[in-house]
A and B are shown apart, each in its own frame.
Chain A
Amino acid sequence: MKYLFDNLDMVMEHFWEHLSLTFSSLGIALCFAVPIGILAAKYRRFNSIATGVLGVIYTIPSLALYAALIPYTGLNVTTATIGLVAYAQMILVRNVVAAIHSIDPMTVEAAKGMGMSKWQIITKIELPLAVPVVLAGIRIATVSIISIGTVAAWIGAGGLGRLIYQGLNHDHTGKLVAGTVSIAVLAIAADLLFRAAERLIGPKTG
């Protein structure tokens, strides 16, 4: 613990690195997941293909996926981000589909009756109503990305995993504890923060 407080500056630097890796991956993942999710919610065939493929990727252990990517994309942040985006896809797409399916068909019909176009229905009715469930998916995805992001230190992506990596390699308990404690704090804080956000947004639709 002493190490953590003595080297707070350095730990914070890793902390921000980890945070930026997490949110950049999450952002990229969302750009893919929302359109894929919408398509999957509308077309049954596409849904089973998408969940099948993403399910297999999700099942592959992170270190194994990274191992397979390294020969092509190298030891760097890009590889880490690709892996993290791939893992988040499964969680996010599943939640987007569940969110859209949970919308009352009457609401959609009412919108249709009011003369809204397909596009308007998606952007003005379905997406806003889907937000709370999607947010739950984002929470789970964020926590997973933070967790898998620790492994990314092994392939040179930096972040808090680096402290654990160095702690293990140099048998330096102080670094090890500093790394594990700060990563646990980050993960738990992210979980609580998103839960609070869900509670804030939730009642409006209820």
Chain B
Amino acid sequence: MKVIQQIIEYFELNTPVFLKNLETHIELTLVSMVTATVICVPLGVWISRKARAAAMVINLVNIIRVIPSLAILALAMPILGVGFLPAAVALTILACPPILINTCVAFREVSPAAREAALGMGMTPLQTILKVEFPLALPVMLAGIRTASVEIIASATLAVLIGGGGLGNYIINGISMMSESFLLIGAIPVALLAIGSEVLFGALQKKASYQ
């Protein structure tokens, strides 16, 4: 019960600090997710049409996926320095593999009959992609974005190690100070964010697949 009291005391004095950390955490996640989506969705669509390029890119991306997130974040420091930007770049790299692979797979699995029907109706290739393939591919793409978002929220906790800020602040300080209340102030919101985004994207995915 002492812990709960400490947490309440902390919030009485430091709610703005907490909100700032929460904001940085969400900002980091959003910036890297949006950047990764903007890069990977077109790239995924493009490689889904080229078997050889796809094999190459996917092999490369699979290697990146295997490298621990901490290693990628840590490597960003000697190259890009410390702060928000290096952390955002590293997180963007981490977000790419699931989005890219799922986009590629999603577009490849669109039935050729649907594509041909669209072309036969006189749609241009761009229209075919936007109006026929995209809606059909959406659920699988969303699954990729969902995986990426959960991974990024988790990895953003580590961003504090290279000066990126965020809720990881509380956890790292909590470990250093052996302060249970600090650990929980960091851990609970991060866990809730991750579970929340999982639920949100799960719902979106369900909605998209009913069309």
Report A's interface with B, CB cutoff 8 A.
56, 59-68, 70-71, 75, 143, 146-148, 150-151, 154-155, 161, 164, 167-168, 173, 176-177, 179-180, 183-184, 187-188, 191
- Are B168's CB and A184's CB within 8 A? no
Instruction: Indicate the size class of the contact surface on chain B.
Output: 35 or more
- Are A151's CB and B195's CB within 8 A? no
- Are A67's CB and B74's CB within 8 A? no
The 5 closest A-B pairs by CB, nearest first: A61-B154, A147-B68, A64-B187, A67-B183, A67-B187
- Are A56's CB and B195's CB within 8 A? yes
- Are A63's CB and B171's CB within 8 A? yes
- Are B71's CB and A151's CB within 8 A? no
Stretch touching chain A among B39-47, B157-165, B203-211: B157-165
Nearest residue (CB) in B for A62 is: B154
Nearest residue (CB) in B for A148 is: B68
A61-B194, A168-B162 known; A68 and B75 CB under 8 Å? no
Question: B53 → chain A, closest Cβ, in Å?
Answer: 22
Q: List 9 A-B contacts (CB under 8 A).
A: A64-B194, A75-B175, A150-B71, A168-B162, A176-B75, A176-B77, A184-B68, A191-B62, A191-B66
Q: Which residue of B67, B72, B190 is within 8 Å of A64 (Cβ)?
A: B190
A173 proximity list for chain B (CB < 8 A): 78
* Complex alpha-carbon distance, A60 and B186, angstroms: 12
- Are A188's CB and B157's CB within 8 A? no
* Complex alpha-carbon distance, A164 and B186, angstroms: 22
A176-B74, A177-B78 known; A184 and B67 CB under 8 Å? yes
- Are B75's CB and A59's CB within 8 A? no
- Are A187's CB and B66's CB within 8 A? yes
* Complex alpha-carbon distance, A33 and B174, angstroms: 32
Q: Which residue of A62, A63, A148, A180 is within 8 Å of B74 (Cβ)?
A: A180
